[in-house]
Every structure is written in C-alpha cells, then in structure tokens.
Amino acid sequence: MEILNAIVLFTNFVVVPALSYGSQLALGALGITLIYGILRFANFAHGDTMAFGTMIVILLTWLLQSWGISFGPLPTALLALPFAVVATAAMVLVTDRLVYAHYRRIRAPFITMTMASIGVTLVLNGVVRFIIGTDDRTFFDGERFIMKAREFKTWSGLNEGLAIKSSQALTVGVAFILVVVLFWFLNRTRTGKSMRAFSDNEDLALLSGISPRKVVAVTWIIAGGLAAIAGTLYGLDKSFGPFTYFQLVLPMFAAAIVGGVGNPLGAIVGGFVVAFSEVMLTYAYKKFATYLVPPEWAPDGLLQLLGTDYKFAVSFFILVIVLLVRPTGILRGKVI
C-alpha cells in the first residue's frame, strides 16, 4: 500500500506534469531543430514566435467568448488555434522575407543569422507586449480535469490522489498526433524527403533540382505552426506571459541540442530529458520518502535538490554536460 501511495504521489507530481511539459518543449524544439537543420542558424526568436501565436489564440478566444461561442468541454482556444497557426506561419514567412532572405542571399555566416534572430525576437516581444500587455493571462475554459484527485482516491482507496488536467491530456495527445504526422511527412512525402535532403547536403540537393525557396518556405510554415500550437498548449496548461515565453527559448534549445540538433527524433527525446530533469530535480521528495522508509527514518528536510527558481539552471547544466561529453547530442545530430 505504501509503495502504491509513493508511486501515485510520484506520478501525480512528477510524471504527469513532466510528460506534458516535455511534450510542449518537444514541439518547440522540433521547430528549432528544423530551422537549424535546413536554414542553418539557431533561431532565438522561436520563444517569441510561440508568444505571437498564443497571443492570436487569446485574442480570438476572447472574441469567440464575446460571441457566446464555446467548444463544449474543450477549451475555446482550440477553435481559435487553426487561425493562429495560419497567422503565425504568415508572420514567420514575412519575417523571413524581410530579414533572413537578405542574409541567405549574401551567404551570411551562421552567427550573423543567429544574431539577426535575436533582433527579431526583441521586435516580436515588443509587438506582443504592445498588443496584449505584459500581464500573465490564463485563457483556459471548459472542463478543467479529466480525473480529479478525490475521485481517484475514492476509486482506489489510496491516501494519495492522482489528478490529470484536461490541458495535460490535451497536450500529450496533440503532441503525439503532430509528431506522427510530422514524421510521416518527413519520411514519406516528396516534399518532406526534399527537406531532409536539403538539410543533409545542400549542394547536392541543389544539384538534384530541389528548389531552395520551396524548402525554406515549407520549413518556416511548419516551424511557425508548431510554435503556435506549442505556445497555446503551454498557455492552456500554465499561463501566458510574454517574458515567460521568451525564457522558454532556453529549455527548448537545451532540448534540441541534447537530443542532437538537426535531428527531429532527437528534439523529442531532448524535450522529455529536459522536462523530466527539471521536474525531478525541483520536486521535494519528503513525502515520497516517508512512504518508503520506516517511520523513524522519516526525513525532516524537504529533500528538494533545487528550488523551483533554479529550474532554468537545470537546462543550462544539461546543455553544458552534453556539449562537453557528447557534442552531437544523444541521437547523433550535427556538431555545433
């Protein structure tokens, strides 16, 4: 019984939140890794691209709510999401035309493009704050839980409850479907294969008649769409704040690099590695340990390795270790 309680406790506070956070990071990291592999620069504007997409979702959600439209038990934001995906894809395509296209034409080095993306992120962040403000916003509506802690307790007879928020289930489900579709696209379709070829060997792709314009445009559309979706899922699960999203760039980059940058499968693995490390290192194990050891051994302290304020340090730490020990990432990507 005690062991079961410990497992449920751990699942409730570590596994479930980390799974959903990991899915959000994975979707973001996929966008970063696609841009890195195909456009060949580190896109620091990805966090603010997520913020832009989420902002559109929030504005549309308010509009729909004001019209009295809802999506039943599901969040209204899901109705707004397709429009936000289109708007975000359009926004990144315009950005590409205005900024990055120039640097591609003059064959600017990696670092120039990366620095340009920092400029883009500052502008985007300003635009988002200007339109929607700097406050934290929650925009979740509909049925909050698909399983409540109390219901689980009565059903199982355990002391510990297991709660699953609908936003968490939604995140994992949507991420899973998107990943399956993306891999099908990359591995089975002509356009997807041409993107992989372009990422693998640009010169040979050009010699094979693959159009760089099309590959670049499709890459932006996918990365922008994924960013809008990842941002919305994160905002539904937690909350939306322009600065929070800006900071998300760090764990997402860590995920992309840890998994093996340029390698889509690696981005997913990396997303979960970073999420589980963050959650596991900042969780207080006191109660968990109390269930497992004899009462007299029960710990006095919180058994928390790191305060949650330091969670970004975890991403940094994993990043440094991976770059030192295995610069290509867990699954072999490109060396940075």
Interface residues toward another protein, by CB under 8 A: 190, 193-194, 196-197, 199-201, 203-210
How far apart are CB 113 and another protein at their closest, in Å?
22
The letter for the amino acid at 95 is T
Q: What share of the chain is helix, strand, coil (3-state, %, to 5)?
A: 75, 5, 25
**Cβ closer to another protein: 292 or 331?**
331
**Residue 119: phi, psi to the nearest 5?**
-60, -45
Task: Provide the minimum distance between the beta carbon of 213 and another protein in the complex, in angstroms, as a whole number.
Answer: 12
Indicate the DSSP class of residue 284: B
Between residues 61 and 199, which has the closer beta carbon with respect to another protein? 199
CB nearer to another protein: give 207 or 325: 207
CB of 38 to another protein, least distance (A): 13
Tell me the DSSP string of 246-265. HHHHHHHHHHHHHH-TT-HH
Smallest separation (angstroms) from another protein to the CB of 200: 4
Q: How far is the CB of 34 from another protein (least distance, A)?
A: 14
C-beta of 183: minimal distance to another protein in Å? 14
Q: What does the buried/exposed string (b/e) look like for 102-113 if buried means 16 or more CB atoms within 10 Å of the residue's CB?
A: ebeeeebeeeeb
Closer by beta carbon to another protein, 218 or else 249: 218
- Taking the least distance from each CB to another protein, the nearer of 137 and 196 is 196
Between 62 and 185, whose beta carbon lies closer to another protein? 185
- Can you spell out the DSSP letters for 174-195? HHHHHHHHHHHHHHHSHHHHHH
Residue 209's Cβ-side half-sphere holds a number of Cα atoms within 13 Å equal to: 1
Angle of helix 212-237 relative to helix 242-259, nearest 10 degrees, comes to 120
Q: Would you say 53 or 329 has its CB closer to another protein?
A: 329
Q: Tokens representing 33?
A: 């890794």
Query: Rounded to whole angstroms, how far apart are CA atoms 110 and 100?
Result: 11
Q: How far is the CB of 325 from another protein (least distance, A)?
A: 23
Provide the CB-side half-sphere exposure for 165 (13 A, CA). 21
Q: Can you read off the two tokens belonging to residue 301?
A: 């302290």
- The C-alpha atoms of residue 283 and residue 13 are separated, in whole angstroms, by 8
Tell me which amino acid residue 36 is: Y
Nearer to another protein, 201 or 308 (CB): 201
CB of 331 to another protein, least distance (A): 11
